[in-house]
Amino acid sequence: MAIDRRGLAEFLRGRREALQPEDVGLPRGDRRRTSGLRREEASALSHMSTDYYARLEQERGPQPSEQMVAAIAQGLHLSVGERDHLFALAGHTPPPRGAESDHVSPGMLRIFDRLQDTPAEVVTELGETLRQNALGIALVGDLSRFRGPERSIGYRWFTDASTRRGYDSDDHAFLSRLWVSGLREVATVRGPGSRAARYVELLLERSEEFGVIWERHEVGLRPPGTKRFVHAELGRLELSCQTLVDPEQSHALLVYTAAPGSESQEKLRLLSVIGAQRFGIDSDTAPAAERPER
């Protein structure tokens, strides 16, 4: 497929100008003259340089890679249909929709962008973290940095011992069963050749513990309402987990909160300070969309 430079430029400008700062978790500011997003804001949301993004809107520069197009689609909060259109304009075949898609829906992003005072993340049905806010990173580290099978916390649970350090040791046995049960359910639904089926094959080869639990054929296990995290600096935090599911994309928005007046609530407050110091931002005012680029 050939790139449609004019169509691409016009589509990008139109979508950028239609978005308001508050739509993506950014402050509007008192002296703002632009009706929509500025180019530098759109480029930051897409994790690329302003110059690179500007050249696309000016019908210049090289053909963007599929990875670049996917980043722009997510940064501009495009729907799946709009994402597919963007890929076609850029001269690429659109990626698959549904369970194995990493594209977070605009509606879920709008909610996520407003979650500034409590840890939150967007994950796939295989436990692959797609987005985290600053407090989420401060709580468990940057989980979106992983690639390949390591993106799945269930996979890392059985192949990387450091993964378990972030959870109360009394919960480890149940969590092992939980990850296996969940993977079995997803692999059954998605079938042979799916990413879930591939993870099963890899884990059977690499983890004796996984193999033992897999032979039990347990299904139907569900995570407890309260999760017990172990933070390197703050110790144990008991947090409730609220879940919002996007059935079309099989993504879940996980929001972690502490009981009012609890020790964990105070630790969450301290966590916001730690996160602000680590990322060099104002914990009281910085939106989730302003997390550091990787």
Q: What is the pLDDT of residues 61-108, one digit of tens each?
A: 889 999 999 999 999 999 999 999 999 999 999 988 877 889 999 999
Q: Provide the token pair at 227.
A: 């999760």
**Is the pLDDT at 289 greater than 50, yes or no?**
no
pLDDT at 249: 85
- pLDDT of 278 reads 61
Average pLDDT over residues 199-222: 97
- Is the pLDDT at 1 greater than 90, yes or no? no
217, pLDDT greater than 60: yes
SS3 label, residue 246: strand
pLDDT value at residue 290: 36
Give residue 140's Cα distance to chain centre: 13
pLDDT value, residue 291? 39
> Above 50 in pLDDT, residue 4?
yes
Going along 119-221, which residue ranges are E strands? 120-124, 129-132
pLDDT for the residue 288: 38
CA distances from 99 to 96, 180, 195 (A): 9, 18, 10
Burial track 214-243 (b if 16+ CB lie within 10 A, e otherwise): beeeeeeeeeeeebbbbbeebeebbbeeee
pLDDT exceeds 70 at position 54: yes
Mean pLDDT of the chain: 90
Q: Give me the domains of the chain, ranges plus CATH numbers.
A: 5-89 (1.10.260.40), 106-290 (3.30.450.180)
Whether residue 285 has pLDDT greater than 60: no
Please give the pLDDT value at position 184. Answer: 97
pLDDT tens profile 122-162: 999 999 999 999 999 999 999 999 999 999 999 999 999 99
CA angle 293, 136, 165 (to 5 degrees): 110
The pLDDT of residue 277: 64
